[in-house]
């Protein structure tokens, strides 16, 4: 396959498109973040990158906590709206009919319509340039019970999640294999 030398940039796609909620000074806001990711499993940690000029930036910097709400593909309009409208000008919860529920550990709200909510506490903020990296510890996870099987296993693959892929919102595809499939022994047929 031929490759073309293209302009350098952040071309690692697809990425999750998540709704980050925060609370500070008696006010709530929700912000779309596509630069979010797992950075450690023990202890569980994740990061989000936010531009300092975003309304939520100082709220999160001051409160040092937030919730990563993982939306479904059916929420693409809400995700896009929260990425282009400023919380300084509009109450996004009210404008979109997003239902706020209480988190278990942090003060930031959870969005009820999202099948997964990850409660986070900021441990470090690194100034990188256009964005600041919020390195955070996961303090709690709220998972939609409808995605649990009768053995207590969580099936997030059934949620129809949303991702962002180079300027487009996309529905995540159906699973093609389970982790470790390439080295798993095949069972013998009797």
Angle value at C-alpha 72, between 71 and 78, nearest 5 degrees: 65
Superfamily the domain 15-171 falls into: Electron Transport, Fmn-binding Protein; Chain A (2.30.110.10)
Amino acid 13: pLDDT: 92
- pLDDT tens series, the chain, 190 aa: 999 888 888 888 999 999 999 999 999 999 999 999 999 999 999 999 999 999 999 999 999 999 999 999 999 999 999 999 999 999 999 999 999 999 999 999 999 999 999 999 999 999 999 999 999 999 999 999 999 999 989 999 999 999 999 999 999 978 889 889 999 887 666 5
Collapsing DSSP to helix, strand or coil, 168 comes out as: strand
Amino acid 91: pLDDT: 98
Amino acid 185: pLDDT: 83
CB 60 within 8 A of CB 134: yes
What is the residue-wise DSSP string for 38-106? Answer: EEEETTEEEEEEE-TTSHHHHHHHHH-EEEEEE-BGGGHHHHHHHHHS-TTT--HHHHHTPPEE--SSS
CB 19 within 8 A of CB 30: yes
> What is the bridge-based pairing of β-strands 116-127 and 65-70?
antiparallel
Helix, strand, coil fractions of the chain, as percent rounded to 5: 15, 40, 45
Domain layout of the chain by residue ranges: 15-171
Residues 6 or more apart whose CB falls under 8 angstroms from that of 151 comprise none
Closest CA to 15 of 127, 181, 169: 169
């Amino acid at each position: 396959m031929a490759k073309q030398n293209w302009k350098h940039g952040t071309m690692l796609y697809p990425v999750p498109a998540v709704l980050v909620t925060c609370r500070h000074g008696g006010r709530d806001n929700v912000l779309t973040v596509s630069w979010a990711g797992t950075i450690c499993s023990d202890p569980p940690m994740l990061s989000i990158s936010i531009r300092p000029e975003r309304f939520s930036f100082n709220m999160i910097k001051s409160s040092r906590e937030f919730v990563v709400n993982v939306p479904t593909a059916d929420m693409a309009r809400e995700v896009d709206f929260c990425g282009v409208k400023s919380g300084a000008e509009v109450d996004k919860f009210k404008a979109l009919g997003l239902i706020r529920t209480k988190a278990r550990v942090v003060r930031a709200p959870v969005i009820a319509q999202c099948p997964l909510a990850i409660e986070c506490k900021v441990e470090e903020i690194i100034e990188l340039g256009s964005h600041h990296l919020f390195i955070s510890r996961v303090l709690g996870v709220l998972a939609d019970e409808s995605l649990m099987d009768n053995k207590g296993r969580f099936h997030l693959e059934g949620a129809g999640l949303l991702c962002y892929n180079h300027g487009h919102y996309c529905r995540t595809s159906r699973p093609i294999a389970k982790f470790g499939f390439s080295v798993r022994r095949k069972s013998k047929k009797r």
